[in-house]
Amino acid sequence: MLLYKVPPDSFENEEEDQAENNELEEPIMPKQIFEIKQFLCLARRKDARAVIIKKNKFNTKFKIRTSKYLYTLVVEGDDRAEKICHSLPPGLVVKNVKAPK
């Protein structure tokens, strides 16, 4: 019967390598934007695919899907929301979603 000596450092290195790989594979979380100007710049990007508009009693949420992230802008007031809707680029797909009652 043959016995092999394994240096104790080899197991620790494997665990560190696995931990580094897990950090790279974490899911990408959506991002919230607070500036209207920044939101409109994101809407004009080439990788922006669609805008989802959700209206509630108290606010309106605009969600832009890009290749990497989902960006969200929350606006209070119907007049501000209408201005943003009119300033979206014409080539962008717009989906209106009603809030559940």
77 domain-assigned:
yes
6 domain-assigned:
no
21 domain-assigned:
no
Q: What is d(CA 59, CA 56) in angstroms, rounded to the nearest whole number?
A: 5
pLDDT at 6 over 70: no
48 domain-assigned:
yes
Looking at residue 18, its pLDDT comes to 58
Looking at residue 28, its pLDDT comes to 78
24 domain-assigned:
no
56 domain-assigned:
yes
Return the CATH number at 58.
3.30.720.90
Query: Domain count of the chain?
Result: 1
18 domain-assigned:
no
78 domain-assigned:
yes
Looking at residue 8, its pLDDT comes to 57
- Domain that includes residue 46, residue range: 29-98
Looking at residue 98, its pLDDT comes to 84
pLDDT at 10 over 60: no
**pLDDT, tens only, 16-73:** 555 555 555 566 789 999 999 999 999 999 999 999 999 998 999 999 999 999 999 9
Torsion sign, CA atoms 16, 20, 26, 29: positive
Query: Which among 87, 101, 13 has a CA at the least distance from the CA of 57?
Result: 101
